[in-house]
Structure 1
């Protein structure tokens, strides 16, 4: 290979491979041969095979990032470069990685994502387990429709964004997301669509976006509510390993049937992401949201906090753990119960994926989500277990 005898090198490596099918050195050299021949899909496959059992192999991850970059897979290339950047690399190599990251940001004008899953759920209507509730001091039995129900749903999530250049430092952002959960009978089907439009400015390592937003939700396959608003986002790359993001959004909300819920919703979130090692990363999130409706008993403030940890393991297994806590305070006493509503929600999500099984960029995932809400009004307390078995794009 060093003397340019690529055909002879390939012949020797292929002759050795059947005898040592898991030898990382042979697979790596075959990958490098594919890079030299500009056969980037073959190189990507070789490098991924090595990382299945050696997720901390920084050099392999770096070469995978380069092959993905040359193949036009910018999202995955950026991820691999950021993981590689956390390794013990010489300063000049880190400089090259930073150049690749800058080039990705400059040339990428379209990105999309999609996932699909089968989703068994122990409480599809987020209902309490109690049989009766006290209203104005009198006992009432819950109807069957108000009790918890189990079911198996189908979930679909998709997103896309187009960001054409307006000037060297300014882009236009046009995008949207769509999420849908579908259950048998349709009574608890839930669909949410979001769209946004606005300019994005980049100054050094900081990005600012001012977006007009729109939201429409259908519940039970009937229109539920819609909203228009404005959103301000700020992203700051402290380094190739660390990113801070914050977003503030204010929306004017109208409901299609229950007009007493009409009002405004303001939401702020702050997020920190950090790449720990070439095979792991973590994040933290805090937030607060304010919903003001025509009725004080429905107006509320929600405080939110969460963390996340990602680790690539051997045999191609990846683990993502995300615990989260939310606390809701309502403005006024509910006459029927004689107290102001207070909720505490604990939620934890565990996701397993297999990087070894990839088909057209998609990989199987298995998620388990446990939610438990404790309210001072029993009617709003519940626990819920959700499973999701599906496929998602591999990043």
Structure 2
């Protein structure tokens, strides 16, 4: 039993003022395991009494006993909005996510709990639960749905003309910026299979599809991955092989196959992650762009308090294409901040800068391409709303790509109205 586990026995009394008779009847109902009766009795209390944190905490406990986990999550999230909410509320919320098989949300809340000033008393138990989640043997699924108005679906220029060797050429509508509304669906499934000791085989697949107003810009991919995952002391390491098939505009676009490795360490306030990969990218119809892509990444997440964390990410990649004009170096730096807000909201804000430099100029370009993209992503999550496990969110991403070649310069604003679920 973990140190914050709610006991089966009812509290001796409700600290919030309530009629003695109701309090006594609630206690008797809980002793009998009549959770529904106890909840009905609490709902009969005067509004100002029923809203007391102590009463709401008991109602969340009763909701869990009745299998109404979404209701319990809603109550816990609301309780956490108050100043000085006890650590136990955060831990009970994390436990409820575990019961709902939402490991990502559970891990997120356990890590926020570790950043609390009261965390030392429960640190060992929380870190044990985090490792238990990491080693859990079962299927994991995630689903994300979104409607996305986009000012630049095809990430193209606003320019109407392009100069080639000093001569003006009109750009077609397909080559210029096109706005639209996309409907996106992304889903993944992963299975952890025990091998020997703390080594496991991870097998998974994923799919993502974007249906845009114009079929010419529809985008989709399917992928599979598999590989061993094992522990090196307190660090978790993994190696996997992956394949992906991509379609664009209703036609096959490319195939990708490769190997990757990652290392994750840190179970307290600071978590670090590093990854390396090598992939072969093969296009169906575009000559010269087939390439080997080598990539490396590192990120650090620091939980500052029970309501805030920040993340720093650094990524780099090298593309070795068949022709020099398609070979490139890429570097990206991002930093993000997560903050809980009133009314059950939470926000994540992440600015980033990406630099891409190509080795040589293309046939129709006066010089090698040099791009710098500036982006700002914002996501607002309604933490206390859940319907059949789905949580709603609103997101926005603004970006501007500066290029030494006019045809590659563009700006873009995309909004996302979606819902996500992991189980």
TM-score (norm 2): 0.86
* Structure 1 counterpart SS, 2:215: coil
| 1:138-188: CA deviation from partner (whole Å, max 9, x where unpaired) | 121212221111111111111221111112210001112222111123100
> C-alpha root-mean-square deviation of aligned residues, in Å?
2.3
Structure 2 distance, partners of 1:369, 1:56, is 33
Shift, 1:25, TM fit: 2.0
Instruction: Give the match for residue 247 of structure 2.
Output: 218
Instruction: Give the match for residue 105 of structure 1.
Output: 134
Distance 1:279 1:367, change over 3 A: same
| 1:46 paired residue among 75, 78, 93 | 75
TM-score (norm 1): 0.92
Instruction: Give the match for residue 275 of structure 1.
Output: 303
Q: Does 1:290 align with 2:311?
A: no
Q: How many aligned positions are there?
A: 393
| 1:318-343: CA deviation from partner (whole Å, max 9, x where unpaired) | 11111111101100123423211100
More strand by share: 1
Instruction: Give the match for residue 6 of structure 2.
Output: none
Shift, 1:77, TM fit: 2.2
> Please, which moves more after superposition, 139-148 or 305-314?
139-148
Instruction: Give the match for residue 164 of structure 2.
Output: 135
Segments of 5+ residues of structure 1 without an aligned counterpart are: none
Are the aligned partners of 1:55 and 1:314 in contact in 2 as well (CA < 8 Å)?
no
Q: How does 1:109-258 map to 2 (within 5 A)?
A: 109-237=138-266, 239-258=267-286
Are the aligned partners of 1:213 and 1:228 in contact in 2 as well (CA < 8 Å)?
yes
Are the aligned partners of 2:74 and 2:386 in contact in 1 as well (CA < 8 Å)?
no
Shift, 1:347, TM fit: 1.2
Structure 1 distance, partners of 2:114, 2:186, is 30
Q: Does 1:81 align with 2:81?
A: no
Segments of 5+ residues of structure 2 without an aligned counterpart are: 1-9, 14-23, 31-37
Q: How does 1:19-98 map to 2 (within 5 A)?
A: 19-33=48-62, 37=65, 41=69, 43-52=72-81, 57-89=86-118, 91-98=120-127
Instruction: Give the match for residue 260 of structure 1.
Output: 288
| 1:271-318: CA deviation from partner (whole Å, max 9, x where unpaired) | 111222112211111111111111111111111110111111110111
Distance 1:131 1:55, change over 3 A: farther
